[in-house]
Amino acid sequence: MKLFTAIKHDFLELLPPAVFFFVAFILILITKRLILSEYGISWTGFGSAFVGAFLIGKVVLLVDKLPFVNRFPDRQLIYKASWKCLIYLLAAVLVQYLESIVPLLRKHGGLMEAHRHLLAETVWPHFLLIQIWLVVLFFIYCSMRELVRAIGKDKVITMFFGGHEKGQRI
Q: Distance (Å, rounded) from C-alpha 39 to C-alpha 16?
A: 36
**Among residues 70, 98, 80, 63, which one has the least CA distance to residue 142?**
80
CA distances from 41 to 33, 36, 44 (A): 8, 5, 10
Percent of the chain with pLDDT over 70: 95
Q: What mean pLDDT do residues 121-138 have? A: 87
**Contact by Cβ (8 Å): 96, 55:** no
Reported as a single tens digit per residue, the pLDDT across 76-105 is 999 999 999 999 999 989 988 988 898 888
With 0-12 / 13-18 / 19 or more C-beta atoms within 10 angstroms meaning exposed / middle / buried, residue 170 is exposed
The mean of the pLDDT values for the chain is 86
Q: Distance (Å, rounded) from C-alpha 19 to C-alpha 26?
A: 11
Residues 6+ apart with CB under 8 A from 102: none
pLDDT tier for residue 170 given thresholds of 50, 70 and 90: very low
pLDDT tier for residue 31 given thresholds of 50, 70 and 90: confident
Greater pLDDT, 84 or 166 = 84
pLDDT value, residue 164: 67
Q: What mean pLDDT do residues 149-163 have? A: 89
pLDDT value, residue 39: 79
Q: Distance (Å, rounded) from C-alpha 110 to C-alpha 32?
A: 34
Reported as a single tens digit per residue, the pLDDT across 33-81 is 888 788 777 776 778 888 888 888 888 888 888 899 888 888 999 999 9
pLDDT tier for residue 131 given thresholds of 50, 70 and 90: confident
- CA torsion 149-79-19-14 (nearest 10°) is -70
Residue 142 DSSP SS3: helix
Q: Distance (Å, rounded) from C-alpha 116 to C-alpha 108?
A: 10
Residues 6+ apart with CB under 8 A from 71: 83
